[in-house]
Amino acid sequence: MSRVADTIARRNTEAAGALIGYLPAGFPDLRTSIDAAVALANNGVDVIELGLPYSDPVMDGAVIQAATQQALGNGFRLRDGFTAVREITAQVEIPVLVMTYWNPVLQYGVDRFADDLAAAGGAGLITPDLIPDEGGAWLDASDRVGLDRVFLAAPSSTDARLRQAVEKSRGFVYAVSTMGITGARSDVDSAARTLVGRLRDAGATSTCVGLGISSAAQVAEVLGYADGAIVGSALVKALADGGVEAAGRTAADLARGTAAARTSR
């Protein structure tokens, strides 16, 4: 069973799909990051993606990099991520996926990490730099404690890689796009749509699209062909500029896209 997959399936029945919201733990401080995640859950976000700040965030954009570096500068430690998951899930009934690069998990200990995440009430991991054929230890640990594992797929992935991501993911497959880039919108949309179609051909039953989505209109557009839309930088920027209240307002605005997409179907 997968809480994340169940939530996404339910939202595809109730609305046009799921809204997944990313925030980094510890930004601007641990307490505020917890309050902001709760605000997202109370304003239409269906699944929380909680990022663990890392010293070499090679796949993150400038807004998220700045936030995670600030969190690290303020003394964030990996164990604080488990505290955040525990406090979020104690306040709202929402799946919380942790997004982390693989090296911190290795340093902490794969089995220990799985045990502590499950004990905190976490739903699973998104691992952007781990491919399934190098993730045997995590596959075993996540099976043992019942955590979801979300692998990434890109437009450049081979069909064999896509099948592998589909077979080994639990919760959803993360389809990487670059929506919202000025001047490249039509090309990016085409790539994202094509990737989701290829993943469905590979057997995916739950695919969510992320990177660059920043408006309700874009959420609606993505949910026209995918099962979920993942928003990160827009929410982090709102939190940075206006605090918890602004993050909640931004989430509520983005969530309107789930209804708009259903109306347009």
- Give catalytic residues, as residue numbers: 49, 60
**Are 94 and 49 a contacting pair, CB within 8 Å?**
no
Q: How far apart are CA 119 and CA 17, in angstroms?
A: 29
Residue 144's CB is within 10 A of a number of other CB atoms, namely: 12
Contact yes or no for 139/149 (Cβ under 8 A): yes
Single-letter amino acid, residue 18: A
Residue 126: strand, helix, or coil: strand
Torsion angles phi and psi, residue 125, rounded to 5 = -125, 145
Distance CA 212, CA 228 (A): 14
> How many Cβ atoms from other residues are within 10 Å of residue 223's Cβ?
28
Residue 7 CA to residue 76 CA, distance in Å, equals: 30
Instruction: Measure the CA–CA gap between 103 and 54, rounded to whole angstroms.
Output: 9
Fill in the DSSP letter of residue 22. E
